[in-house]
């Protein structure tokens, strides 16, 4: 894919229907979705993603993309290109704590060919950007940063001033600018949340084992240990642990880290691997107190950051995009002022409690597996064993996780 070094679009004007701050996976998806409605959209992004080259080492930041997200990416025109790049489909998900108490979910249980794909985050973003560049009514301004927002209440618009002094005026300001959202902070929308005691280390390994199609996770009192299949002889290991322990691990060289993995990952991991790259991340839970004001919405990590132990973060961000675009489309069809609170409230109503439920479910998992008390351990392993029985409830849970409900 060709990339121009500076993606400031010469066609850009100053009056927009929607200005999106943040051209990450969620912001770029929102830009295409709103652009497909015929709206005039600008995306402001601070950093240009590196162009794709199949020979590049795999990025450490990867995401499990659910079936629902795949469907959205197809509608946005990005999925076809994405599948020509590096990817790994998976059709099984297994989780356990004590040996013999394994729960497994398969695509066949819910009539699917696969449960999802693992992609590098950057490739998802690049494919969305490729689509944006094909759209005459969507301008991609990158690298650009915002210095100021100003509400023009009488005009029902918001002015956005960029670092180079240029000004954009918009009916709808969309904050898709990640966990530390400048849009959310400027709007005065508060957040509730906390930092988890655990951090996570993502480690890309080269495996002797052929391409794998099952992702697995073992719960330990220190935190889960997971394997995410990546294309070819590659996989991503996720090591959740106490923040100090992750800090120690991140100071090791590749050989030392491989030794630690061999000692602390389950036997299921084929020990014939080498470490390629790694990165560590602090884990936070944040939920904005609301998702909208007149002329303003937030979505994706700007609205919520979730414990990544079930790989749901960007998937719930994509659901936000899907719902926002559908609500705006309905409002345009009904002749409503789609940038105003009554319409944006419907987006919040459809997403807030769903996101809250997913965040809380992750916290229940996190809390109930983060201890070594024997009665609790037996209870939760009994529950995992029960959960392994194929039942309508199990299929319903799986469908929910895949975003199919
Ligand atoms: C360890 C870990 C593992 C994860 N694994 C998964 C997984 O398997 N599956 C999954 O679904 N999710 C996963 N997630 C979560 C997922 O990575 C995030 O939910 C997702 O990246 C959020 O996308 P976003 O576009 O909302 O925000 P971001 O990816 O943060 O993008 C925000 C963009 O806005 C830009 N920006 C910010 N401020 C400005 C500004 N002022 N001006 C211009 N541009 C700006 C940034 O440069 C960036 O490009 C994981 C997270 C972690 C920490």
In this prediction, residue 211 carries a pLDDT of 87
Strand partners for 281: 200
**Separation between Cα atoms, residue 127 and residue 123, nearest integer Å:** 6
Measured from the CA of 300, which atom of ligand 1 is nearest? 26
**Separation between Cα atoms, residue 113 and residue 124, nearest integer Å:** 21
**Separation between Cα atoms, residue 276 and residue 295, nearest integer Å:** 45
pLDDT in tens, 35-77: 999 999 999 999 999 999 999 999 999 999 999 999 999 999 9
pLDDT reading at 404 higher than 70: no
Residue to probe by mutation, ligand 1, list 313, 319, 358, most atoms within 8 Å of CB: 313
pLDDT in tens, 281-300: 999 999 999 999 999 999 99
pLDDT reading at 11 higher than 60: no
**Separation between Cα atoms, residue 163 and residue 145, nearest integer Å:** 6
Q: Is 8 within a domain?
A: yes
Residue 203 main-chain phi, psi, to 5 deg? -130, 120
Q: Whose CA is nearest to atom 20 of ligand 1?
A: 314
In this prediction, residue 378 carries a pLDDT of 58
**Separation between Cα atoms, residue 107 and residue 93, nearest integer Å:** 9
Dig out the tokens for 57 from the structure: 């080492």
In this prediction, residue 405 carries a pLDDT of 64
Measured from the CA of 118, which atom of ligand 1 is nearest? 8
Q: Is 377 within a domain?
A: no
Q: Is 7 within a domain?
A: yes
Question: Among 395, 299, 404, which residue's Cα sits nearest to residue 348?
Answer: 299
Please give the model's pTM, rounded to 2 decimal places: 0.92
Mean pLDDT, range 134-150, rounded to an integer: 97
pLDDT in tens, 218-244: 988 888 999 999 999 999 999 999 999
Do 293 and 171 meet the contact criterion of CB atoms below 8 Å apart?
Answer: no
**Separation between Cα atoms, residue 73 and residue 124, nearest integer Å:** 9
In this prediction, residue 145 carries a pLDDT of 94
Q: How many CB atoms lie within 10 A of CB 243?
A: 16
What distance in angstroms lies between residue 19's CA and the mean position of ligand 1's atoms?
18
Residues lining ligand 1, Cβ inside 6 A:
21-27, 44-47, 63-64, 121, 145-146, 176-178, 182, 200, 202, 281, 300-301, 308, 311-315, 317
In this prediction, residue 341 carries a pLDDT of 97
pLDDT in tens, 193-203: 988 888 999 99
Domain total in the chain: 1
pLDDT in tens, 72-129: 999 999 999 999 999 999 999 998 887 777 888 899 988 889 999 999 999 999 999 9
Residue to probe by mutation, ligand 1, list 43, 46, 193, most atoms within 8 Å of CB: 46
What distance in angstroms lies between residue 313's CA and the mean position of ligand 1's atoms?
8
Task: Report the alpha-carbon angle 323-326-328, nearest 5.
Answer: 110
pLDDT reading at 275 higher than 80: yes
In this prediction, residue 189 carries a pLDDT of 98
Can you spell out the DSSP letters for 112-140? -S-SEEEEEHHHHHHHHHHHHHT-TTEEE
In this prediction, residue 134 carries a pLDDT of 98
- Categorize the per-residue pLDDT at 10 as very low, low, confident or very high, splitting at 50, 70 and 90: very low
Q: Is 104 within a domain?
A: yes
Say whether 360 sits in a helix, a strand or coil. helix
**Separation between Cα atoms, residue 264 and residue 224, nearest integer Å:** 11
Q: Is 30 within a domain?
A: yes
What distance in angstroms lies between residue 263's CA and the mean position of ligand 1's atoms?
31
Structural domain range at position 324: 2-50+61-368
Measured from the CA of 66, which atom of ligand 1 is nearest? 11
Dig out the tokens for 19 from the structure: 């200005």
In this prediction, residue 7 carries a pLDDT of 42
Do 141 and 7 meet the contact criterion of CB atoms below 8 Å apart?
Answer: yes
Mean pLDDT, range 338-349, rounded to an integer: 97
Q: Is 174 within a domain?
A: yes
What distance in angstroms lies between residue 238's CA and the mean position of ligand 1's atoms?
17
Question: Hunting for tokens 């409830």 — which residue is that?
Answer: 393
pLDDT reading at 6 higher than 60: no
What distance in angstroms lies between residue 392's CA and the mean position of ligand 1's atoms?
34
Do 276 and 207 meet the contact criterion of CB atoms below 8 Å apart?
Answer: no
Q: Is 106 within a domain?
A: yes
What distance in angstroms lies between residue 302's CA and the mean position of ligand 1's atoms?
9
Q: Whose CA is nearest to atom 4 of ligand 1?
A: 308
Measured from the CA of 69, which atom of ligand 1 is nearest? 11
**Separation between Cα atoms, residue 40 and residue 155, nearest integer Å:** 17
- Categorize the per-residue pLDDT at 1 as very low, low, confident or very high, splitting at 50, 70 and 90: very low
Beta strands 292-293 and 62-66 are unpaired
Torsion of CA 266, 63, 401, 83, to 10 degrees: -120
pLDDT in tens, 321-340: 999 999 999 999 999 999 99
In this prediction, residue 364 carries a pLDDT of 78
Question: Residue 151 sits in a domain of what CATH number?
Answer: 3.50.50.60
For 251, counting Cβ atoms within 10 Å of its Cβ (0-12 exposed, 13-18 middle, 19+ buried), the class is exposed
Q: Is 401 within a domain?
A: no
């Amino acid at each position: 894919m060709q990339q121009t070094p500076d993606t400031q679009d010469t066609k850009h004007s100053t009056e927009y229907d929607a200005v999106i701050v943040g051209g990450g996976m969620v912001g770029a998806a929102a830009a295409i979705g709103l652009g497909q409605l015929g709206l005039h959209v600008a995306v402001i992004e601070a950093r240009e993603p590196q162009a794709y080259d199949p020979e590049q080492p795999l990025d450490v930041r990867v995401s499990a993309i659910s079936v629902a997200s795949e469907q959205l990416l197809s509608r946005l025109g990005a999925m076809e290109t994405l599948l020509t790049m590096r990817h790994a489909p998976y059709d099984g998900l297994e989780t356990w704590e004590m040996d013999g108490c394994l729960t497994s979910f398969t695509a066949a249980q819910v009539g699917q060919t696969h449960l999802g794909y693992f992609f590098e985050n950057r490739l998802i973003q690049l494919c969305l950007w490729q689509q944006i560049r094909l759209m005459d009514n969507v301008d991609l301004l990158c690298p650009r940063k915002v210095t100021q927002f100003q509400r023009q209440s009488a005009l029902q618009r918001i002015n956005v001033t960029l670092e180079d002094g240029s000004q954009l005026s918009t009916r709808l300001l969309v904050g898709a600018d990640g966990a530390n959202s400048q849009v959310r902070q400027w709007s005065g929308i508060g957040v509730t949340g906390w930092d988890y005691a655990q951090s996570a280390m993502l480690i890309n390994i080269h495996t002797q084992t052929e391409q794998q199609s099952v992702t697995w996770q073992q719960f330990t009192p220190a935190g889960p240990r997971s394997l995410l299949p990546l294309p070819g002889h590659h996989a991503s290991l996720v090591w959740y642990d106490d923040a100090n322990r992750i800090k120690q691990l991140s100071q090791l060289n590749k050989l030392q880290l491989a030794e630690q993995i061999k000692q602390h990952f389950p036997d299921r991991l084929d020990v014939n691997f080498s470490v390629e790259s790694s990165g560590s991340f602090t884990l936070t839970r944040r939920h904005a107190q609301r998702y909208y004001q007149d002329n303003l919405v937030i979505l994706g990590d700007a609205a919520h950051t979730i414990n990544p132990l079930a790989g749901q973060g960007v998937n719930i961000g994509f659901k936000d995009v899907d719902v926002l675009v559908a609500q705006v489309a309905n409002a345009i069809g009904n002749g409503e002022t789609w940038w105003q609170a009554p319409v944006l409230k419907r987006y919040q109503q459809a997403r807030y409690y769903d996101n809250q439920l997913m965040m809380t479910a992750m916290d229940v998992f996190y809390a109930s597996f983060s201890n070594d008390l024997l009665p609790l351990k037996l209870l939760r392993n009994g529950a995992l064993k029960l959960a392994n029985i194929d039942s309508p409830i199990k299929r319903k849970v799986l469908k929910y996780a895949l975003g199919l409900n």
